[in-house]
Amino acid sequence: MPSAPPDWLREIDHTGDIGLQVTAATLPQLFERAALAMFRVLTDLETVQTTDTTTIRVDGRDRVALMVRWLSELNYRHTVDDVLYRAFDVRSINEADDSFTLTATVHGEAIDPARHTVYTEIKAITFHGLDIQETDDGWGVQVIFDM
């Protein structure tokens, strides 16, 4: 069973699905923590090593779309390439008028059924109720997954 969530993460229960509320000091950290929180839903991160590194680049028309694309990209790679990630390093977030771009390196390893249990399947990262807010303390986001 997963350990207690860190203080920057709140897991929201929904009848069919799972939602996460994440806070961070900076916008790049918000994206990193959202990814970490997503992989916490999928597996026990203690069992995942960071032997493989991949560069990810996604774009979207605003921050909300960028968050959906970022998490969707990681979930797609997890699903199709059978990998788990546990460390995320957002290198840059470029914000132009109508095209936001995020570049990151992510670290993890191929799924080994002997060592890893994948708890569940995230069908998709939804736009529903997705809100990125800048607060006095930093940044916050709520994301809901379709399970």
Partner 1 sequence: MPDYDLEKLDDYRWQIAKTGGMRVPARLYATEAMLDDILSDDAPQQAANVAHMPGILKASLAMPDIHWGYGFPIGGVAAFDPDAGVISPGGVGYDINCGVRLMSSKLTKDDLDRRDTERLVDALFRRVPTGVGSSGALRVDHATLPRVLKKGAAWAVDEGYGSDADLDVVEEGGQVNGADPDAVSSRAKERGLDQIGTLGSGNHFLEVGYVAEIYDETAAAAMGLHEGHVTAIIHSGSRGFGYQVCDDALSDMDKAMNKYNIELPDRQLACTPIDSPEGQKYIRGMRCAINYAFANRQVMAQNTRLAFEEALDLTPREHGLHTVYEVAHNIAKFETHHIDGREQEVCVHRKGATRALPAGHPLVPDRYQKVGQPVLIPGDMGRYSYVLVGTDTAMSETFGSTCHGAGRKMSRRQARKTAGNRNVTAELANEGIIVRGESRRTVTEEISEAYKDVADVVEAVEGAELSQKVAQLRPLGVIKG
| DSSP one-letter code for 9 | E
- 122, 75 in Cβ contact below 8 A? yes
Shortest approach of partner 1 to residue 57 CB, angstroms?
15
79-115 b/e (C-beta count within 10 Å ≥ 16 → b): eeeebbbbbbebeebeeeeeebebebebbbbebeeee
Which among 69, 92, 90 has a CA at the least distance from the CA of 143?
69
- Considering only residues 17 to 36 of the shown chain, the ones binding partner 1 according to CB under 8 A are 17-18
Choose one: 13-21, 29-37, 46-54, 102-110; the region binding partner 1 (CB under 8 A).
Answer: 13-21
Q: Considering the complex, state which of residue 98 and residue 136 has its C-beta at the smaller distance from partner 1.
A: 98
- Considering only residues 68 to 97 of the shown chain, the ones binding partner 1 according to CB under 8 A are 68-69, 72, 76, 79-80, 82
- Considering only residues 38 to 57 of the shown chain, the ones binding partner 1 according to CB under 8 A are none
Shortest approach of partner 1 to residue 69 CB, angstroms?
7
Q: Count the neighbouring beta carbons within 10 Å of the beta carbon of residue 47.
A: 13
Interacting residue ranges for partner 1, rule: CB under 8 A: 11, 13-18, 60-61, 64-65, 68-69, 72, 76, 79-80, 82, 117-121, 123-124, 126-130, 144, 146-147
